[in-house]
């Protein structure tokens, strides 16, 4: 984040709605891809190399826009279709739509766990065609319509993060904790630490070589997030007030932003807490007595973390690593509720495959 508090309600609504919808839909998904403890622990290293690679690409001004447009056209079409399918399907059912025909989709594996495939006579309904058409049109407009609509960017970003939260999960509270605190360190390093490190390296190199590696906006993270070379819906945007923009380090960037990682990463924990809450409320194995919910307090804590992050940005006048505020508050909310319910041990040892929760 790199703005005063004014965009907070907008970003908060987008982020909380995406986390809420993605978590609820993930609970009903039978094929959630679970992140393991080793994967969660290694994520900061992998992402650091990826971030450095992207920083190098934008510094060298390598034109990847054609590739990115094609890749994100497909990604946005898929995520938009998944996101829009349930509401359009419900509308179709309510209006009594009839199938236009059938198509053989038996070559598509529906469940890798069971080997189940899609039907050989899958009905083709108008709502499904409309869903695909709308998703593809929105994706095309975002990629090839000038890319100057922050509203369309944010819609596509919401589709992406909601879909990721539906399809991805963490297999335990320990994994979530390792992932979140590891990425907190990653966020702090590349927002606060990368600028001084690169300035020291530039001083050692001297001349044009030294100048070439310096971040334009003060850090590697900010440069990658604001780079026109990497214009993709991987962040929420909100137009900045001209006076605020002029006073900021990133005065040539016209938007306040919230990275999707600041939504997705805490969202994975919140989705896990929803699963644990369901298990605990039923008193089943792996859950405690269910003395109080985890999901709502975690959402509240996430919103509070956004508020603190934006307040810190406003006071300091500099972009902040949002996970520095979001992670302690969301993890802390879970531990506080667990302490209140006398089930911290159950929460800490809770593991899920994503296949055993109630899906009604």
Report the share of the chain in percent with pLDDT over 90.
59
Do 70 and 96 meet the contact criterion of CB atoms below 8 Å apart?
no
CA distances from 21 to 5, 206, 253 (A): 25, 51, 30
- Apex 12 CA angle, 8 and 17, nearest 5: 160
Its pTM stands at: 0.88
Strand 255-259 to 235-239 pairing: antiparallel
The 8-class DSSP code of residue 190 comes to: I
Q: What is the pLDDT of residues 218-267, one digit of tens each?
A: 899 999 988 877 788 999 999 876 545 545 554 567 788 999 999 999 99
Q: What is the pLDDT of residues 319-344, one digit of tens each?
A: 899 999 999 999 999 999 999 999 99
Classify burial at 193, counting beta carbons within 10 Å of its beta carbon; exposed 0-12, middle 13-18, buried 19 or more.
middle
Residue 281, pLDDT > 70, answer no
Alpha helices (H) in the chain, listed in sequence order? 8-28, 37-60, 65-94, 126-144, 150-167, 173-188, 194-205, 207-213, 220-226, 242-247, 261-281, 295-316, 323-341, 344-349
Q: What is the pLDDT of residues 117-139, one digit of tens each?
A: 777 788 889 999 999 999 999 99
SS3 109: strand
Q: Where are the domains of the chain?
A: 8-63+147-349
SS3 205: helix
d(CA 114, CA 353): 14
């Amino acid at each position: 984040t790199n703005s005063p508090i004014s965009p907070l309600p907008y970003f908060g609504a987008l982020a909380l709605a995406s986390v809420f919808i993605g978590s609820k839909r993930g609970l009903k998904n039978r094929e959630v891809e679970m992140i393991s403890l080793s994967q969660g622990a290694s994520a900061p290293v992998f992402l650091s190399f990826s971030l450095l690679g992207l920083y190098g690409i934008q510094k060298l001004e390598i034109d990847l826009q054609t590739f990115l447009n094609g890749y994100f056209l497909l990604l946005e079409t898929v995520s938009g279709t998944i996101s829009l399918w349930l509401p359009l399907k419900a509308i179709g059912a309510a209006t009594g739509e009839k199938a236009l025909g059938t198509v053989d989709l038996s070559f598509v594996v529906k469940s890798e766990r069971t080997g189940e495939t899609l039907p050989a006579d899958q009905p083709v309904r108008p709502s499904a065609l409309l869903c695909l058409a709308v998703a593809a049109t929105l994706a095309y407009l975002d990629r090839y319509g000038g890319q100057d609509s922050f509203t369309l960017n944010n819609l596509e970003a919401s589709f992406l993060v909601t879909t990721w939260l539906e399809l991805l999960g963490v297999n335990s509270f320990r994994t979530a904790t390792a992932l979140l605190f590891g990425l907190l360190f990653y966020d702090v390093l590349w927002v606060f630490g990368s600028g001084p490190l690169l300035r020291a390296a530039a001083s050692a190199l001297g001349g044009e070589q030294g100048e070439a590696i310096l971040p334009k906006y003060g850090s590697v993270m900010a440069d990658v997030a604001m780079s026109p070379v990497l214009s993709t819906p991987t962040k929420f945007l909100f137009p900045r007030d001209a006076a605020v923009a002029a006073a900021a380090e990133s005065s040539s960037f016209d938007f306040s932003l919230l990275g999707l990682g600041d939504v997705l990463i805490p969202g994975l924990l919140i989705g896990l807490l929803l699963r644990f809450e369901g298990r605990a409320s039923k008193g089943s194995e792996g859950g405690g007595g269910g003395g109080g919910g985890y999901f709502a307090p975690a959402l509240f804590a996430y919103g509070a973390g956004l508020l603190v992050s934006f307040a810190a940005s406003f006071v300091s006048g500099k972009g902040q690593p949002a996970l520095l505020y979001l992670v302690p508050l969301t993890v802390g909310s879970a531990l506080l509720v667990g302490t209140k319910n006398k089930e911290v041990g159950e929460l800490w040892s809770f593991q899920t495959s994503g296949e055993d929760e109630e899906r009604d």
